[in-house]
Amino acid sequence: MLLKLPREGLTLEALFPPLKILLQLLVTGGLLLILRWEPAKSNWLFGSVSFASDHGAQKWCTVLLGAGILYQTNRWLSRRYLNAFTGNTKWDSTKDLMVITGGSSGIGAAVTSRLSNDGTKVIILDIQPPLEKTADNVFFYPTDISSSAEIEQVAEKIRREHGNPTDLINNAGAGNDMLITDQPTAETERIFNINILSQFRLVREFLPAMVKQNHGHVVAVASMASFITQGKNVSYACTKAAALAFHEGLTQELKHRYNAPKVRTTIVHPTLTRAPLVDIITRDEKSRNFCLEPETVSDAIVDQLYSGESAQLILPGRFKFVSGICGFPSWFQELIRDALTSSRKLKDS
């Protein structure tokens, strides 16, 4: 529905769908045909002879048609290249087996709830049990994913009790609001173990079976911090940048080494989201920042799973320009970083 507002209220994203109508080829192309070859019909449509005969209207429709062609071609090429020019894979709730880290709260809990409600068996790996009662097709395995030994043990147990997972969501995350020189080595290692090294370990455990079947989906929940780093958020941003590199490399290996292009890969870059981790990283600043609801991010993830295609999702869409920040002039890059970091309490209190 075009008039349905996001959970976050009236945002720029709520205005995008109506504007996209102007980039639909059937709309602009049909209007241009009417203006050029059926002026009488355009008079009936618009109630204005001057509008129908105005060459300016035809030029604007031509511009919109050209923009629409570029927009649709770009979307088509992006989808085809990300999916190695293969058709989408069918999601089957009765056969797909999902493993999700950090599925007890926040985004992970929202993903788990929707998938399980749709009939998919979901296995949660988390250090804490789910905050709310789960369905019968949800299984919780207490796991410290910062431990390589625990991941190996729980992976073997999952295969023995449920079979090989077909889908993996690396959602668990850790962070803090400490300066580089104040952060103990053990804390830095903890964040790297949870945010990025666990992805290597879990993929090593579950990817071979996906490759063998040429079916599956690996999702990485990254962040806008993959592209831009603030002070007092350095270790977290480093791991999210690494998650992006991991995602890109995994995608290439699936296509060029394993010849398993139908094992899909998706990476998600949400901005601040109302979840326990945000409370740790931003604390008093959260109330001054725009925050996504967990369900907004989880819906984007689940919809992508159901599409059977790979993708890179930036949420909300208005921030897509930030993904290219490294190509901006240096002064503009620093202007953006300064603006973001100035909101953090870096000075001694």
Q: Which residues are catalytic?
A: 236, 240
All residues at 6 or more sequence positions from 185 whose CB lies less than 8 Å from its CB, including other chains: none
- Which tokens belong to 234? 């350095």
259 alpha carbon, distance to own chain's centre: 25
Q: Which of 169, 125, 112 is nearest to 151 (CA)?
A: 125
Asked if 132 and 124 count as a contact pair (C-beta separation under 8 A), the reply is no
Q: Provide DSSP, 229-281.
A: --TT-HHHHHHHHHHHHHHHHHHHHHHHTS--TTEEEEEEEE-SBSSHHHHHH
Instruction: Reduce the DSSP state of residue 99 to 3 states and report it.
Output: strand
Q: Distance (Å, rounded) from C-alpha 239 to C-alpha 311?
A: 20
* Cis amide prior to 316 (ω within 30 degrees): yes
